[in-house]
């Protein structure tokens, strides 16, 4: 399928051919949800920890004799119900890591891209290049394309030109750059607008296209 291609100044300069396999599928919402859950779980450090009654400081002697005092029986000053005692059934360090098959991960990203494309939230441009790192130029680019709100700019590589683009955008709080190879569902759904230069489209289609799926079978 074809869609409009713009230049950096926001003018139409032609069209670009897109892969139906990447940008034209019916979004699979359950797989997208599973992908986001996996991302959030894998981002957790799992370093939380509490000390049980065997780990807190305090004597192990019985506080007072079992019977004859008229008070409730007590076995240890470290008991969970006492001040300074251990925590019962508290959290301990663990891994929250989840896994999804590669085909499902690719399907989730293709679904997110297709949903964004159907909602006309992806802007395809010929090239994106600044002479020097200047936030003013990055802001002018966004205004020329009428992009307001949270914007994700996809770059194809860490070339010197793309590093200048990154540095130009770093001071804009609602704009982020991401490598095409790192494209993920959470970022695609979080940002209102997606900007994809022609070179980034080629990388994305190379990673998610039918050719990549075929190579997995070999």
Over 90: is that where the pLDDT of 212 sits?
A: no
Distance, in Å, from the CA atom of 97 to the CA atom of 107, rounded to the nearest integer, reads 20
Shared domain for 17 and 89, answered yes or no, is no
**Which range among 21-30, 47-56, 101-110, 203-212 shows the weakest confidence by mean pLDDT?**
203-212
Find the CATH number of the domain harbouring 205: 3.40.1370.10
3-state secondary structure 72-120: CCCCCCCCCCCCCCCCCCCCCCCCCCCCCCHHHHHHHHHHHHHHHHHCC
Is the same domain home to 33 and 57? no
The answer, yes or no, to whether residue 216 has pLDDT greater than 90, is no
Residues 168 and 112 in one domain: yes
**Are residues 118 and 198 both part of a single domain?**
yes
Q: Are residues 17 and 80 in the same domain?
A: no
pLDDT at 217: 56
Over residues 15-71, the pLDDT tens digits come to 999 999 999 999 999 999 999 999 999 999 999 999 999 999 999 999 999 999 999
Do residues 54 and 32 share a domain? no
Domain count within the chain: 2
Which has the closest alpha carbon to 112: 212, 194, 175, 19?
A: 194
Q: Cα 159–178–131 angle (5° rounding)? A: 40
Confidence of residue 215 (pLDDT cuts 50, 70, 90): low
pLDDT tens-digit readout, 114-169 = 999 999 999 999 999 999 999 999 999 999 999 988 999 999 999 999 999 999 99
Note the pLDDT of residue 214.
58
What is the structure's pLDDT at 210?
87
Strand order in the sheet with 2-6: 12-17, 2-6, 122-125, 193-197, 151-155, 175-179
State which residues form the domain around 73. Answer: 45-95
- Same domain flag for 121 and 86: no
Residue at a domain's end among 54, 76, 95: 95
Q: Are residues 212 and 115 located together in one domain of the fold?
A: yes
Residues 26, 132, single domain; the answer is yes
> 76 with 128, same domain?
no
pLDDT confidence of 213, banded at 50, 70, 90? low
For the stretch 43-69, what's the b/e string if a residue is b when 16 or more beta carbons lie within 10 angstroms of its beta carbon? eeeeeeeeeebeebeeeeeeeeeeeee
Same domain membership, residue 174 and residue 72:
no
């Amino acid at each position: 399928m074809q869609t409009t291609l713009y230049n950096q100044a926001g003018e139409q300069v032609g069209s670009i051919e897109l892969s139906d396999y990447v940008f034209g599928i019916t979004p699979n919402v359950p797989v997208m949800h599973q992908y986001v859950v996996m991302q959030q779980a894998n981002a957790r450090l799992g370093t939380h920890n509490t000390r049980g009654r065997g780990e807190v400081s305090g004597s192990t002697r019985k506080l007072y004799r079992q019977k004859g005092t008229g008070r409730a029986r007590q076995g240890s000053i470290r008991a969970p119900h006492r001040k300074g005692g251990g925590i019962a059934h508290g959290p301990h360090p663990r891994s929250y890591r989840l896994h999804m098959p590669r085909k499902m991960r690719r399907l989730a990203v293709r679904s997110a891209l297709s949903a964004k494309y159907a909602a006309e939230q992806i802007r395809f441009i010929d090239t994106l290049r600044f002479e020097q790192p200047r936030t003013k130029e990055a802001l002018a680019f966004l205004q020329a394309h009428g992009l307001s709100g949270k914007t994700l700019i996809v770059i194809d590589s860490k070339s010197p030109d793309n590093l200048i683009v990154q540095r130009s955008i770093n001071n804009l709080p609602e704009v982020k750059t991401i490598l095409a190879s790192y494209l993920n569902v959470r970022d695609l759904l979080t940002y209102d607008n997606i900007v994809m230069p022609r070179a980034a489209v080629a990388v994305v289609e190379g990673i998610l296209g039918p050719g990549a799926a075929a190579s997995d079978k070999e």
